[in-house]
Amino acid sequence: MAKGNSRKRHDRARAQALRAEDARSRADAEARRHFDAVFERAIDPALPPAGLAALILDELPDSIAAARIARTRAQRAEESATPAQWPHSDATFAPLAETARLMLAARPASPPPGVLAFAAVAAHFAEDEAEARRHADALLDITRAAGDDAVLELAEEVLSWTHPQEAVEIAERYAAQHHRKRNRARLVHDVASFEAEGQAMKREVEAVFADEKDGGRAAAEMIRAAQQRVLEAPSFSREDMRRDQARLARKMSKPLRPIADRAVAGAYLERAFTELSMPTTKDPADPDAAGKAN
């Protein structure tokens, strides 16, 4: 009799656990549908900064996935620019900066995570790294209290783009401590590592232009080398490669400004940017490819 009662209690507990898991799954699916609907509205280029700020404050104030909206809008703004516009695109991200400003002004005392996440990514694309760091630190303070999963989500949505090396370290720690979930951590690690390499390339270009002699040729060669590294990256689809090659070129465009208007340097850079928009599997060291490029 006692054994029968024990079995019934076990069955009831199991059924209760299954119902709870089913409820969580339904709630997660509904949250994803809600985010997808808001996301589609938020990335509409016709939506002005005031409308976007209101939408995020109303629908996603506590979701750091709001960073994805800033990232997508920034990338689309980059993709719509022509090579001739890249070195002179300070205004490209002005709508993002204005959206962040409006949201921060609306919640000055304690900006919610969604606002901080959007503002951090917007500041990064505008190359205001001090502001991006300030918002990222505020997010880290919030998410650390929520546990490791929340910190990994922050690394995935925000830090992989604003502070990729920090995201790599978070992903490595997470994988070491949570073996059953290490596949997600590896994905965050791969994306952040790729972005960190792109930022390192940008610093290399800036170092080249500390000495501008023949800088155009040197920069063009660097861009071609970056192109090949993108093609060899194992974790990205062909579509991702095309997008990230273009992003890498544009990211490196700002330090090219000192010589962008010089005829010879400009010719090298324009050619290199054009090549980046049409990926090839040819090795940049191949004499035929080098002959065509130069």
| Same-domain check for residues 135 and 182 | no
| Same-domain check for residues 104 and 168 | no
CA 34 to chain centre: 21
| Same-domain check for residues 16 and 77 | no
Q: Of 162, 186, 218, at which residue does a domain stop?
A: 162
Q: Measuring CA to CA, which residue among 236, 255, 258 is closest to residue 245? A: 236
Residue 149 structure tokens:
């999963």
Structural domain boundaries, residue 22: 1-32
Per DSSP, helices labelled H in 163-279 are: 164-177, 182-208, 215-232, 238-251, 257-260, 263-277
Torsion of CA 121, 124, 126, 132, to 10 degrees: 90
CA 43/CA 35 separation, integer angstroms: 12
CB-based contact 118:100 (threshold 8 Å): yes
Q: Per the domain annotation, does 136 fall within a domain?
A: yes
CA 103/CA 57 separation, integer angstroms: 7
Q: Of 162, 189, 216, at which residue does a domain stop?
A: 162
Give the pLDDT confidence score for residue 170 in this predicted structure: 95
The DSSP element (H or E) to which 214 belongs, if any, is none
| Same-domain check for residues 156 and 167 | no
Q: What pLDDT tens digit does each residue of the chain (294 aa) get?
A: 555 677 777 778 788 888 888 888 888 788 888 888 889 999 998 999 999 999 999 999 999 989 999 999 988 887 776 555 554 456 778 899 999 999 999 999 899 999 999 999 999 988 899 999 999 999 999 999 999 999 999 999 999 989 999 999 999 999 999 988 888 898 898 888 888 877 776 676 666 655 555 555 565 566 556 555 555 555 445 555 556 555 555 555 555 544 444 444 445 555 555 554 444 433 333 434 433 433
